[in-house]
Amino acid sequence: MSFEESWPTAIEERTSNVERPSSDRSGFDPNTGIYHSLLQLGDNFQIPSRNDLDTCKYVLSQFPHPDHAESRVALIDSATNYQVTYAQLDRSIRALASGLYHGLGVRKGDVVFVLSPNLILYPTICLAVFSIGAILSPANPINTQSEIAKQILDSGAKLVISAPEELHKVTKTGVPTLLTTRISNEDSLSIEELIESCDPAEFPQVQINQSDIAAVLYSSGTTGISKGVILTHSNFIAIMILLKWSVYATSSQNDVFLCFIPMFHIYGLAFFGLGLFSAGITTVLMQRFDLQAMLDAIQAYKVNNLPAVPPVILGLVKHVSKLRCDLSSLRRVGSGAAPLSKELTEEFREMFPWVELRQGYGLTESCGAATFFVSDEQAKAHPGSCGRLIPTFNAMVVDISTGFALSPRKEGEIWIKSPTIMKGYLQNEEATAAMLDSDGWLKTGDLGYFDEDGFLYIVDRIKELIKHNGYQVAPAELEAILLNHPQVIDAAVIPLEDEESGQIPMAYVVRAAGSELTEEQILQFVANQVAPYKKVRRVAFISAIPKSAAGKILRKELVSHSQLQKISKM
């Protein structure tokens, strides 16, 4: 069967994601309190049962037939127009795996820390690491040197792969380092040189099981400081099959996707670093997000699909009319990583009536997935929703006070269960136990409900994270920094709603007696110690931080106070 023939175009394949017969359209089972997915994968998208399968082996098995792999483009660098075919990608993965294993001695279970923005070699790095049973731990390159050092130490990294411009952040750790690209004045070996000097035929054969750890991604979880999310090969294989199913259900073989979502994030890694290759899709890659560059890439490469985040959608709505661009090729825009407001959704639909806009929901701990819209008609009919449970997912809505499972239209904490759910948090049994129960249910920390048709609505976050431009910011981390200031007696950080970025961190500060500490001094104090997206953006001084009898900060009171202040200034 040819690559073209393997794409499910028959009507029975296209409708394999039909709803299951159910007496309740919501998928809710009153006997168990569990919501079941109303969607089915179909026979062509079953999760493999064989245990001796790793992420890389699965991805390579889904590549186009060799007759088509030489001409089928996998990746395009939007800045240089450099293109990589599926055959070239296959060879570079095998050559790099050979170099890492035979040349550098990287072995199964070794952690490989990756510090780089998006680049054409990022998927090669990830898949090569997976292929030898090593553990991938990617990081945000805008993090500070101290933040990077903490993650390298916590993950137990044996090798660092760094972009040249980020090398200064890792040199003091003493961990052996490999550069992503060749630099003439550097003695360090690069990924490019390793690929060129190694034979793909010497691809190492390592015994890897689906249950083995594939990656450790750092997320703030539901509370506290950053934690390492342990994801297995079975987690990634399951999410790739789900992504392949969703692409086949909503797209065509020749669709072109644009990637500016960072691949160190689960959204970018699962979707662009792994999942789309299983569907034979062409991806146009941007190193970093820039609105005009994104518009230029859409026009130049006739991009059809744009996985995005709310700030990008806001930018399209507010600025695209002022910029010269042709977006007629665009057919679908997906939104994830943070909630998308009804108002912004309506504005987008009015400005781009030919583009489908669909919101999804997921967490790092669930490999970025949970709910999804199969059609634009469903999305339009359920504004404010983030879709239905995708196949293999079950959910419960748990009453926060009683712990009872709730029926449709009743709000509670969203719990989810699926083969994509993480193994736990790295070296943190307490946090793992708080997030995962003994039956494998993931407690998301999000407040929401399902309607009578099985569509999920997220109402609020029980957890205390602040969502800034799609990033998660932990108030506890910023409070700890503020409390280290000699003139700060007490502090609390809350989310402040912001039209452009969703939320910004706002600090309430209790100054020491006689202190003349200013807002600007506090802003600078925090900014010097954190990544840009974690910066405190607003400061208010207060005589005392409201707390419960148990000493817990009453954030809702501070949020209400900030809203009243905002109204009074209007």
What is d(CA 426, CA 214) in angstroms, rounded to the nearest whole number?
12
Contact 358, 379 (CB under 8 A): yes
Q: Are 386 and 458 in contact (CB under 8 A)?
A: yes
pLDDT given for residue 1 in this prediction: 40
DSSP state of 352: -
**In 3D, which of 394, 397, 449, 450 has the Cα closest to residue 418?**
394
Highest-pLDDT range among 82-86, 182-186, 217-221: 82-86
Where is average pLDDT lowest: 238-247, 306-315, 530-539?
A: 306-315
How far apart are alpha carbons 49 and 408 in whole angstroms? 33
At 254 the pLDDT is 81
Confidence of residue 551 (pLDDT cuts 50, 70, 90): low
- For the ranges 11-25, 148-162, 163-177, the lowest mean pLDDT is seen at 11-25
Q: How far is CA 180 from CA 160, 168, 286, in A?
A: 10, 14, 16
227-232 vs 213-219, strand pairing mode? antiparallel
By three-state DSSP, how is residue 376 classified?
helix
> Considering the entire predicted model, what is its pTM?
0.81
The 10s digit of each residue's pLDDT in 412-443 is: 999 999 999 999 999 999 999 999 999 999 99
pLDDT, mean of residues 308-332: 84
Closest listed residue to residue 547, CA positions, set 485, 474, 481, 491: 491
Provide the pLDDT for residue 19: 41
Q: Which amino acid does the sequence have at 433?
A: A
- Phi-psi category of 32—alpha, beta or left, where left has phi over 0 and alpha has psi -120 to 50? alpha
The sign one gets for the Cα dihedral 374, 377, 381, 384 is positive
Neighbouring C-beta atoms of residue 405, cutoff 10 Å: 20
**What integer pLDDT is reported at residue 186 of this predicted model?**
64
Q: Is 55-458 assigned to CATH 3.40.50.12780?
A: yes
Residue 5 region, left (φ>0) first, then alpha (ψ -120 to 50), else beta? alpha
Percentage of residues in the chain having pLDDT higher than 90: 60
Q: Token pair 């190193």 is at which residue?
A: 287
Q: Using one digit for the tens of pLDDT, what is the confidence trace for 7-24?
A: 443 323 333 333 444 447
Q: Looking at the predicted structure, is the pLDDT value of residue 365 above 90?
A: yes
Q: If you ran DSSP here, which 8-state letter would residue 217 be given?
A: E
Instruction: Give the whole-angstrom CA distance, residue 367 versus residue 218.
Output: 12
Tell me the pLDDT tens digit for each residue of 225-262.
678 999 999 999 999 999 888 888 777 778 899 999 99
Q: What are phi and psi of 259, to 5 degrees?
A: -115, 115
Distance CA 19, CA 10 (A): 18
* CA–CA distances in Å: residue 542 to residues 488, 508, 512: 11, 6, 11
How far is residue 435's CA from residue 221's CA, in Å, rounded to a whole number? 8
| Spatial CA neighbour of 448 closest among 396, 376, 508, 501 | 396
* pLDDT at residue 447 tops 90: no
Classified as helix, coil or strand, 307 is strand
Question: What is the per-residue pLDDT across 269-301, written as a single tens digit (0 to 9) for each?
Answer: 998 888 888 888 999 999 988 888 999 999 999
**Region for residue 514 given its phi and psi (left: phi exceeds 0; alpha: psi -120 to 50; beta: otherwise):** left
C-alpha 529/C-alpha 535 separation (Å) is 9
DSSP annotation of 18 reads P
Q: Which residue reads 């990294």 in tokens?
A: 157
Look at 22 and 560; give whichever has higher pLDDT. 560
pLDDT tens for each residue of 39-57: 888 777 888 888 899 999 9
Architecture of domain 467-568: 2-Layer Sandwich (3.30)
pLDDT surpassing 50 at residue 106? yes
Residues 6 or more apart from 382 whose CB is under 8 A from it? 451, 453, 455
Q: Give the model's pLDDT for residue 314.
A: 79
* Sequence ranges of the domains in the chain: 55-458, 467-568
Query: Band of the pLDDT at 312, cuts 50, 70, 90?
Result: confident
For residues 336 and 358, give the distance between their C-alpha atoms in angstroms, rounded to a whole number: 9
Least confident range from 282-286, 396-400, 466-470, 550-554: namely: 550-554
Q: What is residue 123's predicted lDDT score, i.e. its pLDDT?
A: 96
- Answer whether residue 220 shows pLDDT above 60: no
Mean pLDDT of 34-41: 92
Q: Which sign does the torsion angle of CA 117, 121, 125, 126 carry?
A: positive
Q: How confident is the model at residue 564 (pLDDT cuts 50, 70, 90)?
A: low
Distance CA 265, CA 55 (A): 17
Question: Is pLDDT of 216 > 50?
Answer: yes
Helix (H) or strand (E) holding 348: helix 342-351
**Which one, of 378, 463, 367, lies nearest residue 414 by Cα?**
463
